[in-house]
Amino acid sequence: MRYPAATWRPGPPEKTCYPGVRIRTGKGAVLHSMEGPLSAALGELDKLDRRASWHFSNPKSGPLLQHYETEAPTWHAGYQANCAYIGVEHEGVAGQPLTEVQVANDVALLRWLAQQEDWPSFSRHATLWEHNEFMQTSCPSGRIPWARIIADLENDMSEQEKIELSLRKAAAGLTKLLADLDFQKVANAMKVYLGVVAQ
């Protein structure tokens, strides 16, 4: 899929996917820092001998650039993350906070992705990741204002969207409970919860 608010700037088609893996399987995004200007990052993206690619570039000003369809695995944070999550690179270097445009771009993109992919929540280490959480690197160099981004994502939601998000969170919690416990323990917990005493 293509994000309607992004400018399409394709990357080399050779720099996506793995043998037997043509479609991403996860729900979430990994945020990165380019550690340089947009022009340099795009130069790296275009190098066929550099095993690095990502879905979106977030410039200091202007709209996002999209390089690959959102379904495609790109090469941005190691095999596990690449096969699961969207990669978003941010123009700038360590010590530079994201610009207001970059924060607004992130919020709009993440909200759209969550709607398209039915994310269970806007949660760190569940749907919102940093490159350094998958491999040894300083990226994104402490540049991502997570508290603000998550607050903006949740504050701008309609009441219906908040209800749907709560239901998705509850379903995710129930799924985890069912995966962690055997059926009899779940049934016993439900009896206690509902006030039913087994004879």
Q: Which among 52, 67, 78 is positioned nearest to 133, based on CA atoms? A: 78
pLDDT in tens, 25-40: 999 999 999 999 999 9
Point out the residues of the chain with pLDDT beneath 50.
Answer: 196-199
Crossing angle for the helix pair 146-155 and 100-117, to the nearest 10 degrees: 60
- Architecture per CATH, domain 7-156, reads as 3-Layer(aba) Sandwich (3.40)
The whole-number pLDDT of residue 168 equals 67
pLDDT in tens, 88-104: 999 999 999 999 999 99
The whole-number pLDDT of residue 170 equals 67
3-class DSSP state of 7: strand
The whole-number pLDDT of residue 199 equals 41
The whole-number pLDDT of residue 198 equals 43
The whole-number pLDDT of residue 155 equals 86
The whole-number pLDDT of residue 96 equals 96
The whole-number pLDDT of residue 160 equals 74
Give Cα separations from 143 to 31, 90, 147, 148 (angstroms): 10, 9, 12, 12
3-class DSSP state of 186: helix
Per 3-state DSSP, what percentage of the chain is helix, strand, and coil (rounded to 5)?
40, 15, 45
The whole-number pLDDT of residue 159 equals 73
The whole-number pLDDT of residue 197 equals 44
Domain residue spans in the chain?
7-156, 160-199
